[in-house]
Chain A
Amino acid sequence: MNTLEQVRRIWKPLVFLICLVPALLVATDAFGLTGRLGANPVEEIQDRFGIWALRFIMVTLAVTPLRRLTGWNWLARFRRMLGLFTFFYVLMHFLTWLILDQGVLLSAILEDLTERPFITIGFAALVLLTALAATSTDGMRRRLGRRWQTLHNTTYLIGMLGVWHYWWQVKKDFTEPLIYAVILTVLLGARVGWQWQRRRLRLRRRRI
């Protein structure tokens, strides 16, 4: 088997299963099989999905820089799957809030969405992410052409909204949101740096 075949047949299914583990643990913890959800299970479930959503968006954004640094081009094969898992965890986070926390009480939901800025921000990130998930297929990619890349660059914006949403929600100890903010800055910074370098190279070539 060549490497691409290996990625498709072995590594992709394996990574898929690994990505499911945090969600499976929520389910098994709910039944007390692997651990516990504690005194406030609704909050715990919501927090876990939320934190995993942030982790997945960071991992997804790390794929391209890592590929450039290492030259492992096969990494790109996992980008879509990781992006879709980000969407999955954000969606679960949202549904936990909608169903378990708010009990689908429309008045309370609308009030939260319009009057609590951190919830508005989180919801905006979900809407954007839904658009990205919907256009993630090969067909959509072909149909959208160059606009596809522009649209999917909003991943960074979604990352920023996600960290902001987390930051604003924390009561006092900003250590954790700060960690995500730093990771995001580094990932975005690397991109900006590379772009800048490329432009300079192009200019130099023109001069020669």
Chain B
Amino acid sequence: MCNISRLTLVLVNQPVVRRPCVLIRKPSDIRPSEITSQQNYVNRRDFMRAGAVIGGSLIGASALGAIIPDARRAKLGDVGRSAFSTDEAPNSYEDITTYNNYYEFGTGKADPFENAQDFEPRPWSITVEGEAERTGTFDFDAFIKPFDLEERIYRMRCVEAWSMVIPWVGISLAEVVKHFQPTSKAKYLAFETLNDASRMPGIRRRSLDWPYREGLTIKEATNPLAILAVGLYGEVLPNQNGAPIRLVVPWKYGFKGIKGIVGMRFTERRPETSWNMAQAREYGFYANVNPEVDHPRWSQARERRIGSGLFSSKQPTLMFNGYGDEVAHLYKGLDLRRNF
């Protein structure tokens, strides 16, 4: 409305004499951010939130639930802390957002940063199906609302032998699973990424069999370490990191952390997973970080910590990426050399 009236006003004031009028801008040239600054946008959200808190105070603050603003780099409110966070220094925002593997936006490490800038992660819906009591298609805001936001500073170990420390903001996957009430038949939880070539330029190349697919056993999915991340550094999750919602399972190699999730399915049988489908010899279903089981083409014994500088040496990789206390029991009796 505002744009149109502004344009009309300029048109009405047009003199009859033709002259180059450089000041006229088409409505499409005026970005919404020029009319409403991000600050005001966020303030409006805060204002509404504050109202909701006052209004909802009778039934308790937790009824408010998680709210993820639809604005880039907007601050997230009500983020709790977690005992699972590491005290290692997180990588810089720049490192975390410019060095990514997200083949839907290209296979180069800088491609997601470059090609995901115009991606609009809204509107967004997530379909939950399979062996669960509660299924259906949910709008992202409704999907996220019942859960509490928590900051989880996790180590991330990529299968390519590099690692980072990333301050995610997310919701507990165990809580999400509980919410949808899986039946006794549900042994696995499968995930799927958006498969939209018009919005994700990398999909036009057949680098993987789209859509990207990942999966966990139900026991893994309900482990308290597993989260669905919706934020980074206390802000809305950037597109290149998997906006609006992605999986984070820090004891597994990074490729298990499926991005841009649009589908979740509770299944009885082990679901197909993208990298395993592409090269079964190199990427297994479990993909637990394990310094003793090498990738056929490179060693997994050591890793390069991103941001450690040009002359620092690699550091030893830890079993389960250092999360053995929390997850080792999940794999008791399992031959990890065979089930890599």
Structural contact, B299 and A108, CB atoms closer than 8 A: yes
The contact of A103 among B103, B207, B297, B313, by CB within 8 Å, is B313
Known interface pairs A38-B109, A111-B299; A172-B313 also in contact (CB < 8 Å): no
Q: How large is the interface on B (under 10, 10 to 19, 20 to 34, 35 or more residues)?
A: 20 to 34
Whether A87 is near chain B, meaning CB under 8 Å from some CB there, is: no
Instruction: Tell me the chain A residues, 178-197 only, with Cβ under 8 Å from chain B.
Output: none
Contact of B299 among A100, A112, A168 (CB under 8 A): A112
A142 to chain B, nearest CB (A): 43
Contacts of A173 in B (CB 8 A): 103, 107, 205, 207
Chain B residues positioned under 8 Å from A45 (CB to CB): 310
Q: Kindly list chain B residues whose C-beta atoms are within 8 Å of the C-beta of A40.
A: 99, 109, 162, 304, 306
Contact in complex: B297, A172 (CB < 8 Å) = no
Known interface pairs A30-B310, A100-B310. Does A39 touch B107 (Cβ–Cβ under 8 Å)?
Answer: no
Instruction: Tell me which residues across on chain B come within 8 A of A100, comparing CB atoms.
Output: 310-311
Task: Tell me the B26-72 residues at the A interface (CB within 8 Å).
Answer: none
Query: What is the number of contacts between chain A and chain B, taking CB atoms within 8 Å?
Result: 60
User: Please, what's the 1-or-0 string for A31-61, where 1 marks a CB less than 8 Å from any CB in chain B?
Assistant: 0000000111111010000000000000000
Q: Does B302 contact A (CB under 8 A)?
A: yes
Interface string of A115-128 (1 = CB under 8 A from B): 11110000000000
Determine whether the beta carbon of A39 is less than 8 Å from that of B95.
Answer: yes
Contacts of A117 in B (CB 8 A): 297
Say if the beta carbon of B208 comes within 8 Å of chain A.
Answer: yes
CB-CB < 8 A to B162: which residues of A? 40, 43
Tell me if A69 counts as interface (CB < 8 A to partner B).
no
B299, A41: Cβ atoms under 8 Å?
no
Q: Does the CB pair A172–B207 fall under 8 Å?
A: yes
Q: Mark A89-125, 1 if CB is under 8 A from B, else 0.
A: 0000000000011110100100110011110000000
Contacts of A102 in B (CB 8 A): 314
Which residues of chain A have C-beta atoms less than 8 A from B314's C-beta? 101-103
Q: Which B residues fall within an 8 A CB radius of A?
A: 91, 94-95, 98-99, 103, 107, 109-110, 160, 162, 205, 207-208, 278-279, 294, 297-299, 301-302, 304, 306-307, 310-311, 313-314
